[in-house]
Structure 1
Amino acid sequence: MSYRRKHTAQTFITNALALLFIFLFIYAGLSKLIGMSVFKDQLSQVPLTTQAAPFLAWAIPTVEVLVVVLLLWPSLRRWGFFSFLGLMLVFTGYLIYTLYFSPYTPCSCGGVISGLSWRSHILFNLFFIGLAVLAILLVPSKSLEKQQ
């Protein structure tokens, strides 16, 4: 495959993944903001997040929106993919902790995602973690772009 075709395919895939991640975080962030009081109450019922619940209730959707901003700009997209991956790893760790170690397992997710079982939600997150790794591997770094 020629470099031009390979580069076009990589660009298409990374743009599609960025768009998918943008939709996911816009949806998740808006769901949390719209249901802020419920989200904060649910965070306060998990021992790991009880003390920080008021802060986290605002910080999490804010960070999700900031990741969306990174993903929107092609020059910042690589940082956006790394940020998306980091958040998904943290969210998945929180789900695993809550499922196996918390006496209370609230679902602080919004909309359609709240209909998933805990294990399905973990699998959902793992799928998106895999896509984020793929995006990071495909998005060209600035140093590689300059060499070609």
Structure 2
Amino acid sequence: METTATHQTKQKRNRITLHIVIVLLLLLWIPVSIDKVSDFAAFKNNILNQPFSDDLGYILIYTLPGLEILIAIALVTEKFRKAGLILSTLLMTAFTGYIAAALLGAWEELPCGCGSVISGMNWTQHFFFNLLFLSLSIWGLYLWYKLRSSNAGGEAIEGASAKRHIKKYSLTSKF
């Protein structure tokens, strides 16, 4: 059984690591969303040049920037951080899968519809870049859950009734 001091040190380390992951994710989501909004015409043109239907293209044109902004806001808001990490993971999974399909030759020619720093990358670099941020999103979600589960037992470690504490969280928690 670990001591309270060791537990608190691990919690602090996990909390700091989660904050670093959040900052790194924000360094992705904020610039790419600003780029899409500030040069909307170029973003729209790039999306409509992708090898999927224009109907899907128009859905993406009007949902991606808003979704990326929503992710950034959720990540900085403690109450919605879990949702931000889940959305980041889902969107990075979709982007990474799309690039993987392109690398596997699903389409003959595929224009890159990306802006910001990403526009200077080739497809392989872009794939690994996305894998990195997908991994960060998953790791952030893991840390979020780890911190929540360790907080749930915090009072029991300090001597309070674990049974009463668990009952309290099961009835009122929205995790």
Could you tell me the TM-score, scaled by structure 1's length?
A: 0.89
Distance in 2 between the 1:73 and 1:27 partners? 18
Structure 1 residue 144 displacement after superposition: 4.4
- Partner residue in 2 for 1:119: 124
1:40 shift after superposition: 1.4
* Equivalent residue number for residue 31 of structure 1: 35
* Secondary structure of the structure 2 residue equivalent to 1:102: coil
Opposite residue 84 of structure 1, the aligned amino acid is: S
Partner of 2:173: none
Runs ≥4 residues deviating over 4 A: 141-144
RMSD across aligned positions (CA) = 1.8
How far apart in 1 are the matches of 2:122 and 2:100?
12
Q: Distance in 2 between matches of 1:146 and 1:80?
A: 21
Change (3 A) 1:18 1:86: same
Where in structure 2 are there 5+ consecutive unaligned residues? 155-175
The count of residues paired between Structure 1 and Structure 2 equals 148
Higher relative contact order, chain-length normalized (CA < 8 Å, sep 6+): 1
| Aligned position for 2:152 | 146
1:107 aligns with 2:112: yes
Mapped partners of 2:13, 2:7: distance in 1: 10
- Structure exhibiting the larger radius of gyration computed from Cα positions: 2
CA contact (8 A) 2:86 2:141 kept: yes
Residues of 2 paired with 1:104 and 1:34: CA distance?
27
Matches of 1:116 and 1:82, distance apart in 2: 26
How far has the Cα of 1:49 moved from its partner?
4.5
Q: Distance in 2 between matches of 1:73 and 1:24?
A: 17
Structure 1 residue runs without a partner (length 5+): none
Mapped to 2, the partners of 1:116 and 1:49 lie a distance apart of 25
Change in Cα spacing, 1:104 to 1:39, as seen in structure 2 (3 Å) is: farther
Matched residue type, 2:108: P
